[in-house]
């Protein structure tokens, strides 16, 4: 089967920072999750297919990126890591907690490091309890009103709070905003301009580094707008670094200076998409907000809302040609997929915004995974592994199929690798599905548990598990 793609005509995805076939410089390889040149192995358990695996000291949900033979990834709570793509060797690690960014005397630094070590020790001690709490809360969602489960959840929260309290309140542990145990603070995939790497962390911090690990600037903006934390990966658009914790900010990549700030209509958990029209760049958020990249002016909004679950906007829209594809919802409450069309001129867009082409009700659930559009078919997967395929032109449902045997939550986004869709599961299982109008699973494999999305570059697949970074050879 040969995969076809829509040509990019009047509107085009801004890919100037994603031009090398051997580099993946940001979230979902420019936003759409397409790696058409990949030829992934379908058995990742086979030791001969694993090029290398490097243990990472702390977990993260963010994907790695690869630029100029170097991998950049994050770790809890605010660490940026650089590894050699050929060998997996860690080249450098840089902490970006509040105390790391301060000019301190040797005595103050020693106290800060001591507090940081205590916080890290407490976090490690609390990890098994947090896993138990996560499982108990999932069970409670299915068995609402179960007194035994309610008691278990309350007791686990009490034990975790006690452990965290033991770590004290030094510079490394104070002031952190709340975050969900599953999400943490490092779920933001880094981005690179080819010479520098930029990273965000859910403590409200943005940093810029050169490839040798020298911090060129840092900035503290604002805390995420939800107690679960955030995951809005930074993007480079129109020569600006676009970041989001609560509002949308454009920073100068060279200095970190804020160029503009635009309020968001509500909670959003991932990065906006972007497109170019008549030489100008625009952002489109998962809530349907249209923002001009030049000055941050909000031009229009589709007004996507979920009145009962206003936090249900979890992913990045996909821009293919002149069309933008969205999916959002919450379990038992709402499930919607939309297609909007970008006008052929800025004048028309200023007047009427984007035109809705279709709206299809899909499985009522959360959609952590961003839409994947391949060969005229929009592929979606809900948090509970309901995979759906819709006609990209009309929104007609081709199929809805449960991907059986996958447990945990479908946090990873669907990714096209060559001629297969990679369906990742939190439990470490991976299903390989053919893109198209008919569901067909062709293989399955398993690694350590993970929540990030795989990337593919120069004949190698890279995956950030909760414990390690893996390089997987091509078939």
Q: How far apart are CA 6 and CA 154, in angstroms?
A: 51
What is the structure's pLDDT at 15? 33
Contact 250, 260 (CB under 8 A): yes
Helix then strand then coil, in percent of the chain rounded to 5, is 15, 35, 50
| Crossing angle of the two packed helices 106-142 and 147-166, in degrees rounded to 10 | 180
The pLDDT, as a whole number, for residue 289 is 97
Tell me how far apart the alpha carbons of residues 314 and 445 are, in angstroms, rounded to a whole number. Answer: 26
CA 434/CA 423 separation, integer angstroms: 10
Residue keyed to tokens 């909000």: 298
Mean pLDDT by 10 residues, the chain (475 residues): 37 36 91 95 90 95 98 97 98 94 65 69 76 76 81 84 63 70 95 98 97 97 93 97 98 98 94 97 97 97 88 96 97 95 97 97 97 98 98 98 96 97 97 98 96 96 97 92
Answer whether the bond into residue 77 is a cis peptide, omega within 30°: yes
CB < 8 Å & 24+ apart, contacts of 146-151: none
Nearest-5° Cα angle at 228, 227 to 231? 120
pLDDT at position 353, please?
96
Question: What number does CATH give the domain 11-98+180-473?
Answer: 2.130.10.10
Instruction: Output the pLDDT for position 174.
Output: 54
Residue 288 in tokens: 């349907």
Beta-strand ranges (E) seen in 264-376 are 273-277, 280-284, 289-292, 298-301, 318-320, 323-330, 334-341, 355-361, 372-374
DSSP single-letter state for residue 474: B
Q: Where are the beta strands (DSSP E) in 142-252?
A: 191-192, 196-201, 205-210, 215-220, 235-237, 240-244, 248-251
Contacts of 198 (CB under 8 A, 6+ apart): 190, 191, 192, 206, 207, 208, 209, 234, 236, 241, 253
CB distance 359 to 397 below 8 Å: no
pTM of the entire structure? 0.86
Say which residues have a Cβ less than 8 Å from residue 239's Cβ, sequence separation at least 6: 253
Task: Name the helix (H) or strand (E) containing 164.
Answer: helix 147-166
pLDDT for the residue numbered 11? 38
User: Could you give the 3-state DSSP secondary structure of residue 407?
Assistant: coil
Which pair of tokens denotes residue 111? Answer: 């106290």
């Amino acid at each position: 089967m040969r995969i076809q793609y829509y040509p990019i005509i009047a509107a085009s995805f801004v890919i100037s920072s994603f031009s090398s076939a051997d580099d993946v410089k940001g979230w979902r390889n420019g936003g759409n999750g397409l790696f058409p040149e990949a030829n992934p192995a379908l058995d990742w358990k086979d030791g001969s297919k694993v090029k290398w695996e490097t243990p990472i000291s702390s977990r993260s949900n963010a994907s790695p990126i690869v630029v100029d033979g170097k991998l950049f990834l994050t770790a809890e709570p605010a660490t940026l890591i650089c590894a050699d793509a050929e060998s997996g060797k860690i080249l450098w690690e840089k902490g970006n907690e509040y105390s790391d960014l301060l000019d301190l005397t040797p005595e103050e630094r020693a106290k800060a490091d001591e507090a940081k070590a205590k916080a890290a020790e407490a976090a490690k001690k609390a990890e098994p309890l947090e896993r138990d709490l996560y499982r108990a809360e999932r069970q409670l969602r299915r068995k609402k009103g179960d007194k035994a489960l309610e008691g278990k959840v309350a007791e686990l929260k009490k034990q975790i709070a006690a452990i965290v309290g033991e770590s004290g309140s030094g510079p490394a542990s104070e002031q952190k905003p709340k975050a969900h145990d599953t999400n943490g603070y490092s779920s933001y995939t880094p981005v690179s301009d080819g010479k520098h790497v930029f990273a965000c962390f859910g403590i409200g911090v943005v940093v810029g580094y050169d490839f040798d690990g020298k911090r060129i600037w840092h900035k503290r903006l604002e805390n995420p707008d939800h107690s679960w934390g955030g995951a809005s990966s930074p993007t480079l658009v129109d020569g600006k670094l676009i970041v989001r914790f609560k509002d949308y900010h454009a920073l100068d990549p060279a200095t970190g200076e804020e160029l503009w700030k635009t309020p968001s209509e509500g909670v959003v958990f991932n990065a906006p998409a972007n497109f170019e029209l008549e030489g100008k760049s625009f952002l489109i958020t998962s809530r349907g907000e249209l923002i001009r990249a030049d000055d941050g002016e909000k031009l229009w909004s589709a007004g996507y809302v979920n009145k009962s679950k206003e936090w249900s906007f979890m992913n990045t829209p996909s821009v293919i040609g002149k069309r933008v594809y969205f999916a959002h919802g919450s379990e038992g409450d709402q499930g919607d997929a939309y297609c909007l069309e970008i006008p052929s001129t800025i004048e028309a867009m200023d007047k009427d915004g984007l035109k809705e082409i279709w709206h299809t009700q899909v499985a009522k659930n959360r959609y952590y995974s961003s839409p994947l559009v391949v060969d005229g078919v929009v592929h979606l997967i809900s948090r509970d592994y309901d995979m759906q395929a819709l006609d990209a032109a009309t929104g007609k449902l081709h199929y809805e199929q449960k991907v059986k045997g996958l447990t945990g939550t479908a946090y990873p986004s669907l990714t096209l690798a060559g001629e297969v869709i990679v369906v990742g599961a939190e439990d470490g299982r991976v299903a390989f599905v053919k893109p198209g109008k008919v569901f067909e699973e062709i293989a399955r494999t398993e690694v350590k548990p993970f929540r990030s999305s795989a990337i593919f570059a120069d004949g190698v697949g890279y995956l950030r598990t909760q414990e390690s970074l893996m390089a997987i050879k091509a078939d």
